[in-house]
Amino acid sequence: MPKTILDIVKECDNFIHPTEDPIKYTQSLQTYYVFRLPDCPTPLGYIPASIIPQIIWSPEWWCINHTSKTVTLTAPGPAPARTQRLAQTLHDTRAARSLALLSGWRNETFPVYGPRGDVLLEIERAASALFGVVTYGVQLLCYVRCRDGGLALWIARRAAAKQTYAGMLDCTAAGGLAARMRPVEGVVREAAEEASLAAETVRARVRATGCVSYFHVRGADAGGETGLLQPEVEYTYEMELGEGEEPRPGDGEVAEFRLWGIEEVVAALRRGEFKPNSAVVVVDFLVRHGVVTPENERDYVEIVARLHRRLEFPVCTVPMG
């Protein structure tokens, strides 16, 4: 039985939403500790209560309150000092081998923003889901206008050797957005590395089309502990390619590229062949290009709203200054 498009969106945005059931939402939050900084009024992430005993918290720079269920990084700023303390904690925890997630260490940091757009600290990429902080990525879909007026998409198949979602379908290029990288530079870099598209071509012709945002609870297929939270923002980009312009695998990430007719894309989506957060970017494209319409999709309004979830954490696009 093929999935509905709403099923696909729900698999990605699968953390309970407060308007769905405010009481259940509040109860659900009780099973998490809130990650905070002393001088920041808003929560920065949620940590499952079951994970708390498995992290090696140094009392010198952490305050764990089991009544208010808060984890506060008390180390004073500036950001690099906090980043260093957090990294120390993660290194200690990794050395204890208590958390499978940390075996995927990347040596790449993601920024955590405050409510005024300032970077409060940076966190090792592999650990971001441990603290449930917002992470940012870029996704590019290259498309071709067919002679009959229809659309075709350049879809990547993930390498069989990838640690996660091996062999599944993906957008043309995508990647996480490391600290201090502007989204457009991120997409230019990923397009060059993963799809061998010339940086100057992408920079000149790529179009920013918005972002999708969702709140994901990690399952077994993501690797590491299940139940970790992953609120995500993916900046979406599209670029029209002409005849003779073709993405080619650049690094080991992609097994192959193939041009898929739009109906083939929809069928593969509904068979669940896309990586979940690439699937929602494809859905967003189908809505934007009038393939999915209010008339052919009963859940249109809910789909569009859930593709753009308002998160309870500070979100920002580019560091201040």
Among 203, 248, 271, 310, binds a second copy (CB under 8 A): 310
Phi, psi angle pair for 217, to nearest 5°: -100, 120
Minimal distance, residue 10 CB to a second copy, in Å: 12
Among 109, 135, 213, 230, binds a second copy (CB under 8 A): 213
**DSSP-based three-state secondary structure for 97:** coil
Phi, psi angle pair for 279, to nearest 5°: -55, -45
- Answer yes or no whether residue 235 interacts with a second copy by CB under 8 A: yes
Nearest CB to a second copy, comparing residues 224 and 314: 314
- Answer yes or no whether residue 318 interacts with a second copy by CB under 8 A: yes
- Answer yes or no whether residue 304 interacts with a second copy by CB under 8 A: yes
Nearest CB to a second copy, comparing residues 242 and 290: 290
Nearest CB to a second copy, comparing residues 168 and 287: 287
Minimal distance, residue 220 CB to a second copy, in Å: 27
Can you list the alpha helix ranges (DSSP code H) found in the chain? 5-12, 22-29, 79-95, 128-131, 183-195, 199-205, 262-270, 276-288, 300-306
**Which residue, chain included where needed, has tokens 């950001």?**
79
Contact between residue 263 and residue 148 where contact means Cβ atoms under 8 Å apart: no
Q: Which stretch binds a second copy (CB under 8 A): 46-54, 78-86, 246-254, 302-310?
A: 302-310
Minimal distance, residue 104 CB to a second copy, in Å: 26
- Counting Cβ atoms within 10 Å, is residue 144 exposed (0-12), middle (13-18) or buried (19+)? middle
Among 11, 264, 273, 302, binds a second copy (CB under 8 A): 302
Among 111, 176, 183, 276, binds a second copy (CB under 8 A): 183
Among 3, 10, 17, 157, binds a second copy (CB under 8 A): 17
Angle, in degrees to the nearest 10, between helices 276-288 and 262-270: 140
- Answer yes or no whether residue 315 interacts with a second copy by CB under 8 A: yes
Separation CA 57–CA 63 (nearest Å): 8
User: Residue 311 corresponds to which tokens in the numbers above?
Assistant: 């998160």
Rg (CA), the chain: 20
Q: Which stretch binds a second copy (CB under 8 A): 80-88, 94-102, 150-158, 201-209?
A: 201-209
Cα 10 → chain centroid: 15
Q: Interface residues with a second copy (CB under 8 A)?
A: 17-19, 22, 25-26, 117, 182-184, 207-211, 213, 233, 235, 287-290, 293-295, 297-298, 300-302, 304-312, 315-318
